[in-house]
């Protein structure tokens, strides 16, 4: 696996994979597609869907007291208007902020599609990709089907198997150097 480092969080792909493996083993949610809402719930998060501007995907709030208007102190909100695959990625992305910052007592971050991502956002995307498409599972699935399909068909099959968008599957396959 290629090692990628970033300046802000200075975290490698291997370190992200290690965090993801720990989460999947701790939650016993090892099947695919990964049950990302159950993972969020396991760590005390309540996930809400809300109508948001189309360029806002979601947000995470962690506080030491209940969040006003919600009966929780750990909240992930996703855009109700987005497709289910996008919502799943957003939940995983927001969890990325939480786990990559070592489970802070207070946290606020939002995911939007306006403008460029900074390193923290890219790291959260890398985390989401690794959580929703664990490397061993992707490699195993890819090995089983790669000789029988075109690249675009492979991307769509992986996307379907892991319940992610085709673009997320394509990026993951490229990052793993499978395509």
Question: Are residues 129 and 172 in contact, defined by beta-carbon separation less than 8 angstroms?
Answer: yes
Q: Would you state the pLDDT for residue 9?
A: 45
Domain end (from 95, 110, 132): 132
Does the pLDDT at position 115 exceed 70?
Answer: no
Q: Is 115 helix (H, G, I), strand (E, B) or coil?
A: coil
> Are 176 and 118 part of one and the same domain?
no
38 or 31, greater pLDDT:
38
Element (H, E) at 47: strand 46-50
Q: Which domain holds residue 31?
A: 13-132
β partners of residue 77: 48, 59
Instruction: Kindly state whether residue 120 falls inside one of the protein's structural domains.
Output: yes
The pLDDT tens digits of the residues spanning 117-144 come to 678 888 999 999 999 999 999 999 999 9
Question: What is the β-pairing status of strands 46-50 and 74-79?
Answer: parallel
Question: What is the β-pairing status of strands 56-62 and 74-79?
Answer: antiparallel
Q: How far apart are CA 172 and CA 133, in angstroms?
A: 8
pLDDT band of residue 111 (cuts 50, 70, 90) is low
Element (H, E) at 60: strand 56-62
> Are 43 and 117 part of one and the same domain?
yes
> Are 149 and 125 part of one and the same domain?
no
Does the pLDDT at position 34 exceed 50?
Answer: yes
Rounded mean pLDDT of the chain? 88
Number of independent structural domains in the chain: 2
pTM recorded for the entire structure: 0.88
Closest CA to 104 of 70, 67, 74, 62: 62
């Amino acid at each position: 696996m290629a090692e990628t480092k970033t300046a802000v969080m200075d975290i490698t792909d291997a370190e992200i994979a290690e965090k993801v493996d720990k989460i999947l083993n701790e939650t016993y949610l090892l099947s695919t597609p990964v049950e990302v809402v159950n993972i969020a719930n396991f760590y005390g998060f309540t996930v809400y869907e809300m109508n948001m501007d189309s360029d806002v995907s979601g947000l995470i709030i962690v506080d030491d007291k209940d969040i006003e208007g919600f009966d929780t102190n750990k909240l992930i909100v996703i855009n109700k208007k987005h497709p289910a695959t996008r919502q799943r990625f957003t939940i995983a992305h927001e969890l990325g902020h939480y786990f990559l910052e070592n489970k802070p007592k207070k946290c606020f971050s939002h995911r939007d599609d306006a403008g460029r991502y900074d390193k923290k956002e890219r790291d959260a995307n890398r985390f989401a990709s690794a959580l929703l498409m664990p490397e061993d599972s992707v490699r195993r699935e890819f090995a089983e089907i790669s000789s029988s399909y075109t690249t675009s068909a492979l991307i769509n099959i992986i996307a379907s198997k892991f319940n992610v968008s085709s673009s997320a599957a394509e990026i993951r396959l490229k990052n793993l150097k499978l395509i």
